[in-house]
Chain A
Amino acid sequence: MQNETVLRPKKAPKSLLSKGVRDHLVAYSFIAPNFIGFAIFTLVPMFFAFVLAFVKWDGSNPMEFIGFDNFARLIKDTTFHKALWNTIVYTIGVVPFTMAVALALAILLNQRIIARNFMRTVFFFPYVASLVAVAAVWNFIFSPTMGPVNNILHLISGVPIEDLPRWAADKHWAMFTVILFTVWKNMGYYMVIYLAGLQGINSELYEAAELDGAGAWRRFRNVTVPQLAPTTFFVLMILVINSFKVYDIFINLFAGADNQLNDSTRVMVYQIYNTAFRSLDYGYASAMAIVLFLLVLGITIVQFRGEKKYGQ
């Protein structure tokens, strides 16, 4: 943008450039630094993703256009189906669980309560703490035979440790463990969004309800829930989208190498990553990425319509 201001007078005397053109150049110069980077490193790869989905390519041999073959292969690929299914199971587990906990905490912490700010900080912190580090602690705390969780469960219930869930190491419990961890890690974020929503509710509504003799439950049902609808909708959409993008939680929650990811915990992004960077099947991986994109696009469209409906 500096070049431009210096060069402009030389190329054309000021009188030849109308004020309108000059204003435009100034405006474009503001956008250019971000837009050029954004266009090259985001827009181009986005476009390229669609092209890549229709080719067969290992990154070194010449690309081969194969039409919809990648998608035909996806339809028959049971591993991918499993990954898609696991992603959906994870989403169904995480979304209502997180929403319920986040809303309950937000309502409690919206009252005049001792140590309110301290608690908000404590609940929010896992969201910013490094995933690798907190996942490592969870792996230790939930480790099947040595970990404190199973030792405490053993003490309380008397069930032999071998019969207790093996958590992340157990294919029946692995998904549940990941969901539990996700809720623990991210609920603080959604709690804050709910808190903001609660604080946006006009307190006169509560006062009016109280005058009408509405108890706490009625006030929650008839004031809080409807007033929070836009927030709830927003939280729901963001949670679903984020659940579809999950990958790092899965590979970090399994102690040791990620080859422990078995059928019950393989998610879509893992499958994309593996197909592209391990099997070097770039075209096929991009076809999976397009499926992910279409799913998220679908959710976004629902959100867009819903927001119009709620008139936010």
Chain B
Amino acid sequence: MDAIEAAFADGPAFVPYLAAGDPDYDASLEYVAALARGGADVIELGLPFSEPVAEGPTIQAAVNRSLDAGMTPDRFFAFVEELDVDVPLVCMTYYNLIYRYGGEDAERPRAFVERAAAAGIEGFVVPDLPAEEADPLREACDEFGCDLVFIVAPTTQGERLDRIMARVSGYVYVQARLGVTGAKADVSTQTGQSLDRLAEWGVPKAVGFGISSGEQAGEVVAAGADGVIVGSALVDIVAEGHEAGDDAATVAERLETKARELKEGAVAGAQRTPRPERT
């Protein structure tokens, strides 16, 4: 739990996402390492599920490339073990893969969390798991020292917000706008309002959905975010390199450059609006 908290302690955190194994296992290892070199503070690693309902076209395609290349939960854990990065890793996936892990007789969802924690995963984001159904996973996370991150939409309110607050740890994923993942040209004006609603929460607020440039990362941080989450803009770089047939080293370099731009943008945003110290 401490690793993720620590990652948010020194100024705004840059939290990139990539689908593990996209477009293939070996290239993906290089890409994740490139994000770490580019300044990632936490990395969200997608464990591909066949029904990615929270994702827009970019990440859907990434998930399919990874699945087609043979990604499975066990290969994902091997992937995490093989990664040589000094950054906390969060597993982003859908609940059925967590629920089914270990087969019919496994203790669910504990078996998955135990294996993930052993591989080096520090936390989980599960977009299709509502807080109402999250207690078994929350308990397993507590047992193995992992965080459970929840996504808060601009429309989340009332009791639902309270239920999430009671169960979230690591950071809260603040959805910048309604809908599914995907890079957008502008950052939603809803972000500031969303952050205000969570002002009292005792976890860092990381904003995602639609951020694709250093400038936008800066805007989000200036609006009060403790971190920025970027997925589709990075997955686009992977997809374009894959389609053009570029070698993995070249694509990795582009990812590192983009990561640096986003991290620097976030830091610049923090300088524009000095943050009150978090207690």
A and B found bound together = no
- Chain A positions within 8 Å of B, measured between CB atoms, are none
